[in-house]
Structure 1
Amino acid sequence: MRQEHKTFRAIEVGDGGDGRWKTYAQSLWPEMAGLLTEEGRTPEGADRVRALFHAHMPELVPVLDRLAGQLDRPEAEAFLTHAALRPFSQACTQIARNGTLLRNYDLRPDQCEGTIASSRYLRPVIGMQDMLWGLLDGMNDAGLAISLTWGGRSAYGRGFAILIVVRYLLETCDTVDEAVGRLRSLPIAVPQNLTLVDPTKAVTMFVGPDMAPTPAPDACAANHQHLPVTDEQERTLRTQERLRTIRAAGTNVAAMLQPPLYRSVDEQGSRTLYTAHYRPADGRVTYYWPGDSWHQSFTDFTPGSRTVTLGRPS
């Protein structure tokens, strides 16, 4: 496997109001602004997504206002609603068992922000952040952890990017059951799979713009949902093979760092970027790469940066 390097960083942003989030977000804004849809750039589109956010995520409205005000860009509020972003898809494999959540995140290195963020918007949350305040995976101080994978279908509708949904659920929910209940009322733009775990329960939910939230057979997911996987999809994503492998391996970090769960560069340049092992009841998460790891927790969060090697030696 061809090796490559990527720098991940860990930051603390507090409640978003003391300037730390502003410094971080302004440095990324030039590359983020292009991800806003054309509709989101219009006054009518901005009004629509603002109303959608107010209707479905009212608890986060004060945070949205605080963050958008610091960016001081006319399109910032529409962007931060995550209801007017260009659709994107990623691979990934994840499983939850016995109060822990283990996942691999697969994407092109240049398309992943690589920011581990500790925040206190509404409550303490730690997770792998993307799109300025969305989350690819994370945990809160109540012992709830959530991660996402793409659902493998090309459906698209009006609704939220899954990143802000993970953020919202972790900010407002204590348990899996509470999060699943809230999930049922949220419009989702792209088919996604969410795996959720707390100290007593684990579940994977299939969600999307064309379906009601549906529980998967067990608390693990790759990149398909309820529909049959085509030969082409399996050739490019190996989604069924990865799901079979992770079911057999369980929450085994070593298995996640080996093929087929650990993925080499594909035709689009996507590859496994990190492995995350959440133990939310303990408030701890460890990020893994071949030959390296980084521990973070609510009681000992360490800001900084780390350049890691992607890919296993040949």
Structure 2
Amino acid sequence: MLWRAMTEDLPGPKWSGLFAEYWPDYKRWWLKEGESTRPTYAQCRRAMKEHMPELIPLYDELCELAGGGDLAARFLSFYCPPPYLAGCSQAIWTGREPVMVRNYDYNPNAFDSLVLHTKWQGRQVMGTSDGLWGMVDGMNDAGLAISLTFGGRRIVGDGFGVPLILRYVLQTCETAEEAGRVLARVPTHMSYNVTVLDKKRQYLTAMMAPDRPAVITHAAVATNHQENVEWVSHARFTATVERERFLLQRLTLHRDPEDKFIGAFLKPPLYSTAFNAGFGTLYTAVYRPRLKQMELRWPGSVWPLSMKQFEEGMRRIQIPGAA
């Protein structure tokens, strides 16, 4: 996989170039169930104005940079997108310098492979891109880190793709408590577990769903189910319960030091090479919100990135098991 780290303070030619590069593939994905199954531009913008009004000026600016087309604008709203599944494990290590650690398990052919650093709307944000302005994990200059896992339920409803919800949290929130309030009110189109950690060591996990109110918990671990396993075959295939138990043991019964805890994400049962079945571990991310630093890790490779001195670059990574 060819990874890139890119920075652009305000939406401009770099982002426009990214959109032009990625749009053909995203357009095919967006339309795979037919254009009529996706909401209209008016519906998309109305939903954003109701639930994420602070993002409207930024959304309009990005739509213009994307060429001002109807389909692109609908896609960029992330409103009622096609369903998609992922694996993922995430946990908070609550040591002297608290860290958020996560594995992202997904199809390598449907992934941005991009770390994006921005200062949009006066808020500095960096993290792993999805959909070119959404994020699957990230951190802001207030020292708030956030990450997602799929919630293990088949139900699809009216709501936003969760990567844009993560972007919205990072653009508008500074504490875990503020993030919890946002996650409780913004509708999601599928079930996801979203974990946040702030610089004051406060953390929470929101179990979000399209058909029931979000449950805000003090859980330090999230895998691919919520309070109970509802999709049994998916749970067995992804070993979600086993991974959750493994992490809880590392945090409680057998308290690991930080380096050993992080290292466990690069080995089974957390690390997956099930790419032939649709997804395996694409990377491990480590966030240190008090230091405003992140790392991307793979077996035998570490890429450190700092919000204070963000450096653009490229890395070619050989993912074990990914053809």
Instruction: Tell me if both proteins adopt one fold, taking TM over 0.5 as the criterion.
Output: yes
Counterpart selection for 2:28 from 34, 37, 46: 34
Give the secondary-structure state (helix, strand or coil) at the position aligned to 1:309: coil
Equivalent residue number for residue 24 of structure 1:
18
- Equivalents in 1 of 2:204, 2:275: separation in Å? 29
2:158 equivalent to 1:158: yes
Bigger CA drift: 208-217 or 84-93?
208-217
Report Cα offsets for 1:86-122 as digits up to 9, x if no partner. Answer: 1111000001132321000001111111100001112
Q: CA deviation at 1:42?
A: 8.5
Q: With the length of structure 2 as denominator, give the TM-score of the two structures.
A: 0.90
Q: Is the 2:183–2:206 Cα contact (8 Å) retained in structure 1?
A: no
Q: With the length of structure 1 as denominator, give the TM-score of the two structures.
A: 0.92
2:306 equivalent to 1:297: yes
Distance 1:94 1:43, change over 3 A: closer
Counterpart selection for 2:289 from 256, 271, 280: 280
Equivalent residue number for residue 113 of structure 1:
112
Give the secondary-structure state (helix, strand or coil) at the position aligned to 1:274: strand
Write the letter of the residue equivalent to 2:234.
Answer: Q
> Pairwise mapping of residues 12-91 of structure 1 onto structure 2 (< 5 A)?
12-16=7-11, 18-37=12-31, 45-72=40-67, 73-91=69-87
> Pairwise mapping of residues 170-181 of structure 1 onto structure 2 (< 5 A)?
170-181=170-181
Equivalent residue number for residue 270 of structure 2:
261
Distance 1:235 1:66, change over 3 A: same
Equivalent residue number for residue 3 of structure 1:
none
Report Cα offsets for 1:279-309 as digits up to 9, x if no partner. Answer: 0111100100000010111112111110112
Give the secondary-structure state (helix, strand or coil) at the position aligned to 1:21: helix
- Equivalents in 1 of 2:38, 2:140: separation in Å? 35
- Equivalents in 2 of 1:259, 1:43: separation in Å? 38
RMSD: 1.8
> Pairwise mapping of residues 140-155 of structure 1 onto structure 2 (< 5 A)?
140-155=140-155
Number of equivalenced pairs: 306
- Equivalents in 2 of 1:44, 1:273: separation in Å? 31
Write the letter of the residue equivalent to 2:112.
Answer: E
Q: Is the 1:203–1:220 Cα contact (8 Å) retained in structure 2?
A: no
- Equivalents in 1 of 2:189, 2:82: separation in Å? 10
- Equivalents in 2 of 1:228, 1:201: separation in Å? 27
State the structure with bigger RCO (CA 8 A, min sep 6), 1 or 2: 1
Q: Which runs of 5+ in 1 are unaligned?
A: 1-5
Give the secondary-structure state (helix, strand or coil) at the position aligned to 2:290: helix
Q: In percent, how many aligned pairs have the same letter?
A: 33
Equivalent residue number for residue 211 of structure 1:
212
Q: Is the 1:39–1:84 Cα contact (8 Å) retained in structure 2?
A: no
Q: CA deviation at 1:311?
A: 1.9
- Equivalents in 2 of 1:280, 1:43: separation in Å? 37
Bigger CA drift: 90-99 or 132-141?
90-99
Q: Which runs of 5+ in 2 are unaligned?
A: 252-257
